Structure formats: C-alpha cells, structure tokens
C-alpha cells in the first residue's frame, strides 16, 4: 500500500469561528457596499495630516484615479457632479478612486489655530507618497482642478514613474509676477476673500449672470465654517513657484496629459501657454464651449466622453462605448489628428455647442471637435 501523506488544506478566505458560508458572503457584500459608498482615511505626513476618501476596490494592474480639488472647494463640491454623471459610471467601475481633501478642507474640519503655517503647494504634493504608501497603490491617473492640477503636476515631476496620466483642468503653471502680485493685493483691499476665490473659479460673465450654480457656490464659500482655512490654501496657491515647463527640456511631464479649460474661463490664457510648453506628442488640449470656469461642474457629459478617449489612448477601456462625441459627426474638420489609441499623439479639441466630426489622420496635427 502506498504511504499516505498528510496534506494541510487551508481556505483562501477562512471563515470566522462559527461563521456560515452564507454569513461570510453577506459580510463580503457589506464590505463591498461600504467601499462603493466611500471610506475616509487620514494619514500623518511630514507636513501634517491629510484626509482622503476611497471608492471601489483596487483592480489588478490598473492605476487608481486620484483627484485633487481647487481652492474654495473640497472633493465633493469639486468633483461630485462629474463622478456621479451617468456615463461616468462605466469608468468608475473599472478603477478605484482616491479623492484627496487638502488639509483643513474636509467636511467638519476644525479651524487651524492663529499662526498655523499652512503647507505650500510643493509640500502638499509631497504628501501624496504617504497616501499611496498607506493604500499600497503603485500608480495613479491624476485628475486635478486649479490648485489641485498644479499639485498633481508637481508630484508628477518629482515621481514620474508613479503617474500614468494626468487630466489637468484650469492649470496655471506660472508663479505670480510682480504685476499679478500687485493686482492681487489691490483687489484684496476692495474685495473679500470669498469674492476673490469666486473670481478664480468662475468667469466674470458667469458671476454677473448669477445663475443658480453661482449662487450655490457663493453660498458654500461665503458661509464656509472653515473660511480661515480656505484663505490659507488660497495664499499658498498665490505663492506657488513656477513649474518651469520647457518643451524639449528636462523639466516636463513624461506621461500622457489632457489639458482642459472652458472658453472665456479665467485661466484660458494660462492653459494655452501650458500647452505650448509640453510635449505635443503626449498632450491633448480640450477647450470646451459653454462650460465657463468649471467644466467638471457645467459640462460633465463632454468631459466624461473626453476622459474615456484619454483612457483608451492609454490602453484602458478599449471596448468602451463612445456615446456623445461619436454620435456628433456632421460639421467639418479643420485639421486632422490621430485617435488610434497610441500614446504618441497630439490633439487640440475645441468644442462648441454644435455637432462635429471625429476622424483619424497622421499624428502631430491638431483637431477641432464640436459637440
């Protein structure tokens, strides 16, 4: 008789003592629902504590979508309309999301004591490795607005191997010059901090129309219980250093980048200048009509569709169904560009409220798309 050998068998997911398989499944489902609703964490960094909320479960060999909000907002007021948009659900089912709140910007944050030294934007970028280490995430796709776009860009310059792509909305990579500094000080004498921040977020045309959206965000900022904290973040943004992007130089973003700005937005010129300094084979430029200063709030559908194309260009979501832009195929194309999914491409997407055409052509050109 062959000698019997003792083999130890363990379950991949062992049950708790007294737990039935049905109860284990219910617990796993409850944990998944909790992840989908978002789990908030805080970690200590060399520059203070930072809070972030995680949605979904990590996907093998996929980066996390990592967002950073602008001044005067938190992750909910900045990104909720975009990530709750119907067509965005296809994206968020395929990626875990990490939404960062800048220090003191999270809901219920206490006011910092008088004399507190708020981190610079460079130091806020240096907090990101602590978050990724805590979560054990190796790579991200960053989505940032305004100050958040600057922070993610600074992080990408310092840690290029961990950033697979960047969506930068309203980025201003330049430090304030003397004229800008003087104008800012003069404005501060006649306007409140809340009004200055609103002028940073929205165009003057939007503010003069005083739409329901403007009233909502004016109320959010003006009556924010942490307005003193918001002012500190605002001061850090206005004291930012120049990112020193240089086309063809050593200081540049190594990953695919999609630059986004609304037409007549306060930061239109800065984003156009930023586009001129980045690698044209890695950079897409999306100028959105009828979107004002915050495209992620006013045109989440168009931005979602562009984000899908961006992810496809990076090799993700190849089978994703294009809806809005792919149905708009009637207006003429002023110049052509490649949308074949390769990383080496250059696009300028100029969107208006009319329908337009998408077609492929040789890389290195620009394209105007209306939708």
What DSSP string describes 216-239? HHHHHHHT-TTHHHHHHHHHHHHT
Q: Which of 23-37, 69-83, 182-196, 240-254 bottoms out in mean pLDDT, i.e. has the lowest? A: 23-37
Closest residue by Cα to residue 73 from 40, 51, 106, 46: 106
What is the average pLDDT across 227-255?
A: 95
Q: Which residue has the higher pLDDT, 302 or 341?
A: 302
Q: What per-residue confidence (pLDDT) applies to 38?
A: 83
- Mean pLDDT of the region 59-87: 95
* Gap between the terminal Cα atoms of the chain: 77
Flag whether pLDDT at 246 surpasses 70.
yes
Lowest-confidence range among 100-114, 126-140, 191-205, 321-335? 321-335
- Residue 97: strand, helix, or coil: strand
Distance CA 361, CA 332 (A): 14
Q: How much is the pLDDT for 249?
A: 87
Of 127 and 327, more confident:
127
Least confident of 13-22, 132-141, 146-155, 170-179: 13-22
Residue listed under structure tokens 């709750």: 84
- 3-state SS assignment for residue 333: coil
pLDDT of residue 101: 98
Q: Please state, in angstroms and rounded to a whole number, the distance separating the CA atoms of residues 199 and 188.
A: 12
Domains of the chain with bracketed CATH: 36-314 (3.40.50.1820)
Using 50, 70 and 90 to split pLDDT, how confident is the model at 299? Answer: very high
Q: Are 305 and 87 in contact (CB under 8 A)?
A: yes
Average pLDDT over residues 312-340: 53
Angle between helices 75-83 and 300-313 (to 10 degrees): 80
User: Measuring CA to CA, which residue among 333, 284, 356 is closest to residue 313?
Assistant: 284
Instruction: State how far Cα 168 lies from the chain centre.
Output: 7
Q: pLDDT band for position 113 (50/70/90)?
A: very high
Reduce the DSSP state of residue 43 to 3 states and report it. Answer: strand
Residues 235 and 181 sit within 8 Å (Cβ to Cβ): no
- Over residues 212-227, the mean pLDDT reads 96
Integer angstrom CA distances of residue 233 from 80, 107, 207, 226: 21, 15, 22, 11
In the chain, where does DSSP find H-type helix?
Answer: 21-37, 75-83, 89-92, 121-135, 147-158, 178-190, 193-201, 204-209, 212-222, 227-238, 268-277, 295-298, 300-313, 324-327
Q: Is the pLDDT of residue 201 over 70?
A: yes
Q: Which two tokens stand for residue 211?
A: 């739409």
Task: Pick the more confident residue, 76 or 331.
Answer: 76
Is pLDDT of 105 > 90?
yes
Above 80 in pLDDT, residue 284? yes
Asked whether residue 31 carries a pLDDT value surpassing 80, the answer given is no
Classify each residue of 93-122 as buried b or exposed e, where b means 16 or more C-beta atoms within 10 Å of its C-beta.
eebbbbbbbbbbbbeebeebeeeeebbbbb
Place 33 in a pLDDT band, splitting at 50, 70 and 90: very low
| Average pLDDT over all residues of the chain | 81
pLDDT value at position 190?
Answer: 53
Average pLDDT over residues 156-183: 86
Residue 30 has pLDDT above 70, yes or no: no
pLDDT in the model for residue 59: 87
């Amino acid at each position: 008789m062959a000698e019997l050998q003792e083999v130890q068998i363990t379950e991949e997911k062992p049950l708790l003592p007294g737990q039935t398989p049905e109860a284990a499944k219910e617990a796993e489902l409850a944990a998944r629902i909790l992840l989908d609703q978002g789990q908030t964490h805080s970690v200590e960094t060399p520059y203070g504590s930072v809070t972030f909320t995680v949605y979904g479960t990590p996907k093998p060999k996929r980066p996390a979508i990592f967002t950073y909000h602008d001044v005067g907002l938190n992750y909910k007021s900045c990104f909720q309309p975009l990530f709750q948009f119907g067509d965005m659900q296809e994206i968020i089912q395929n990626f875990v999301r990490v939404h960062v709140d800048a220090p003191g910007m999270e809901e219920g944050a206490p006011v910092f004591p008088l004399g507190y030294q708020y981190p610079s934007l460079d130091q806020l970028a240096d907090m990101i490795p602590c978050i990724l280490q805590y979560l054990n995430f190796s790579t991200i796709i960053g989505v940032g607005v305004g100050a958040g776009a600057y922070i993610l860009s600074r992080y990408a310059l310092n840690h290029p191997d961990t950033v697979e792509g960047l969506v930068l909305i309203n980025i201003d990579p330049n430090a304030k010059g003397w004229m800008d500094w003087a104008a800012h000080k003069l404005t501060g004498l006649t306007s409140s901090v809340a009004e200055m921040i609103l002028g940073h977020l929205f165009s003057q045309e939007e503010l003069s129309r005083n739409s329901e959206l403007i009233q909502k965000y004016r109320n959010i900022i003006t009556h924010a219980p942490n307005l003193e904290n918001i002012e500190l973040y605002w001061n850090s943004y206005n004291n930012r250093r120049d990112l020193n992007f240089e086309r063809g130089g050593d200081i540049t973003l190594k990953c695919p980048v999609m630059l986004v700005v609304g037409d007549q937005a306060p930061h239109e010129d800065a984003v156009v200048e930023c586009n001129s300094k980045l690698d044209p084979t890695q950079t897409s430029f999306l100028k959105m009509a009828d979107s004002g200063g915050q495209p992620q709030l006013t045109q989440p559908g168009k931005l979602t569709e562009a984000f899908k194309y961006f992810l496809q260009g990076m090799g993700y979501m190849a089978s994703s169904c294009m809806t809005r832009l792919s149905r708009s195929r009637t207006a003429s194309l002023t110049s052509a560009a490649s949308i074949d999914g390769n990383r080496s491409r250059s696009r300028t997407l100029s969107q208006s409220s009319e329908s337009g055409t998408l077609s492929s052509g040789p890389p290195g050109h620009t394209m105007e798309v209306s939708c």
